Amino acid sequence: MIVIEEVAPDDWPRWKIVRLQALADAPDAFSSTYATWCNAGEERWRARLRDVAYNVIATHDGADVGLISAVDSDPVELISLWVAPAVRGKGAGDALVRAVLAWGAPRATQLNVYPDNAHAIALYRRNGFVERGVVEGELVMVRA
């Protein structure tokens, strides 16, 4: 079973582990890199969780297996989605996206994804996102 849990700055050690796994697993999927975060100190990790309005970790059988964040704007901006390879296809991605949609409702939600990330695009389409065009090499998708 997938469990979704919002995290706060005091949860930074847990967030750090999952975020570094994401950056190592999918280095081309994020604007940040493993190298820029792997030696970051506690305050930088706390600041990331403090400065981004909504941060969630997904767990499966007690293990942290995914994360997502969203910026409090209009439209809401979904950022930093990642699911561990071992649980892909088991609903974690959908649960994470739904958490952001519920948190941001009733506002629209927007995201950017690389056009060659077919699995992510399928996940977003499945959750009601539609393409709005390409900006600076990234596909913009919106869910009203």
Q: Is the pLDDT of residue 31 over 90?
A: no
Task: Copy the structure tokens of residue 68.
Answer: 């997502």
Residue 61: the pLDDT is 93
DSSP codes joined into one string, 59-112: EETTEEEEEEEEE-SSSEEEEEEEE-GGGTTTTHHHHHHHHHHHHHTTS-EEEE
Res. 24 pLDDT band, cuts 50 70 90: very high
Q: Is the pLDDT of residue 28 over 90?
A: no
Mean pLDDT calculated for residue range 29-37: 92
Phi-psi label, residue 64: left if phi above 0, alpha if psi -120 to 50, beta otherwise: beta
Residue 29: the pLDDT is 85
The Cα–Cα gap between 19 and 33 comes to 10
Query: What rounded mean pLDDT belongs to the chain?
Result: 96
Res. 89 pLDDT band, cuts 50 70 90: very high
